[in-house]
Structure formats: C-alpha cells, structure tokens
Amino acid sequence: MWPDPPIPDLDGAGLMRPPWQKYPNLLRQSMGWRMGQGEVYLDQFKVWWSRQARDIRLATKAKYPEPAEWSGYWASLSAA
C-alpha cells in the first residue's frame, strides 16, 4: 500500500486527521505532498479546515499537536 496502511480521513469525533496522521510515513518535505494522493489529501484538509468553526479548529489542534517535522503547520493554516 502507498505509503501507509489505509487510515480513515475522519476520526471517531468527526475531526479530519491532519496530514501527518493520515500518512505518518510520508515525510513533510516528500514529493508525495506535491503530487498524487498526498497532494489530494493536503488540499482536502485545507478545504475542510477553512470550513470549520473556531472551536472545531481548536479541538483538532489540541487532539493532533504538530510533530517537530510539521512545526508551524497550524500557524500556516491560520494565516491563509
């Protein structure tokens, strides 16, 4: 399977998993985020994020803290 086992997009609380949770074996600087399934998921996540109320965004950030490799990701979404 590419590059990880299948992981659902939404968790049990209905929150969309951030990229590092959906594809944990795909490094942030990988080409996989700029083409193919990784790119599609990243775009879908950004659209989902843009449609969420502040409380859902805060819950997502609290449940899925950024790993060191993804430092600054949450801030980059808030700036967009």
pLDDT tens digits, residue range 16-52? 999 999 999 889 999 989 998 899 999 999 999 999 9
Is residue 63 in a domain? yes
| C-alpha distances out from residue 9 to 5, 49, 79, Å | 12, 13, 23
**Confidence check: pLDDT of 53 > 80:** yes
Is residue 10 in a domain? no
What's residue 1's pLDDT?
46
Is residue 50 in a domain? yes
Which domain covers residue 48, as residue numbers? 19-79
Q: How many CA atoms lie within 13 A of 37 on its CB side?
A: 11
Is residue 45 in a domain? yes
The answer to whether 15 and 60 are in contact (CB under 8 A) is: yes
What's residue 3's pLDDT?
57
Domain count, the chain: 1
Is residue 62 in a domain? yes
Residue 44 tokens, joined: 């879908």
Is residue 13 in a domain? no
What's residue 25's pLDDT?
87
**pTM for the model:** 0.88
Is residue 8 in a domain? no
Is residue 72 in a domain? yes
4: pLDDT confidence band, cut at 50, 70 and 90? low
